[in-house]
Structures are given as C-alpha cells and as structure tokens.
Amino acid sequence: MTKVVGVRFRNTGKMYYFAPNGLEIRKGTPILVETARGLEYCEAVSDVREVEDAEVVAPIREVVRIATEEDQKTFENNWSRAVLLNFIDSNLYER
C-alpha cells in the first residue's frame, strides 16, 4: 500500500496521485506539486489515503508544499492572463 493524495489541476478533470511528503493534506487544500511542466498549483480532491501499489504510476512525485496566499494570487493572476491571451489569439485568427 502507498500513501497518496489525489489532486486535480484546473484545466483537467483527471485526478492524479502524488505522495503527501509527510504533510497533513485535506480535501480542498491548495497545494504545489512538481510536474514535467514545472511547479504547478492544484487542489487536493481527497484526503491523504492508502491505495494499492498497482493503482500508482511509478515513480510517484511528491507534493512540494501547501500553497500560500501569495501562491494563490500568483496562480489567479497567471490564469487570468492566460485566458485573456487565448481570447486575443483566437480573435486574431478569426480575421
């Protein structure tokens, strides 16, 4: 059995498992994790729990830390900018 926390990123509905790294993480907790794309902000969709080893894709990555208010502000600012740039970009291609 492996201890994991389920997380979901804003732009996907899929749940991913990360090792809790000894942190007390509850469902709804905003956290930072290291992914192939770098440090990413996400939300825990489960409490820390144990799952069968077969359910975990090895190697499992660890939660970096619980997100701070500053992390949340940065994420929201970046998300707003990304949405705006996507809107502008899509309007340019329509012309």
Q: Which pLDDT score is estimated for 30? A: 93
pTM of the model: 0.75
Pull the structure tokens for residue 31: 């956290």
76 touches 41 (CB < 8 A): no
- In the chain, the N- to C-terminal Cα span, in Å, equals 55
17 touches 51 (CB < 8 A): yes
Q: Across-strand partners of 41?
A: 32
The full 3-state SS of 11-31, as one line of letters, equals CCCCEEEEECCCCCCCCCCEE
Q: Is a pLDDT exceeding 60 seen at residue 94?
A: no
pLDDT per residue over 18-76, tens digit each? 999 999 999 999 999 998 888 888 899 999 999 988 888 878 899 999 999 998 888 77
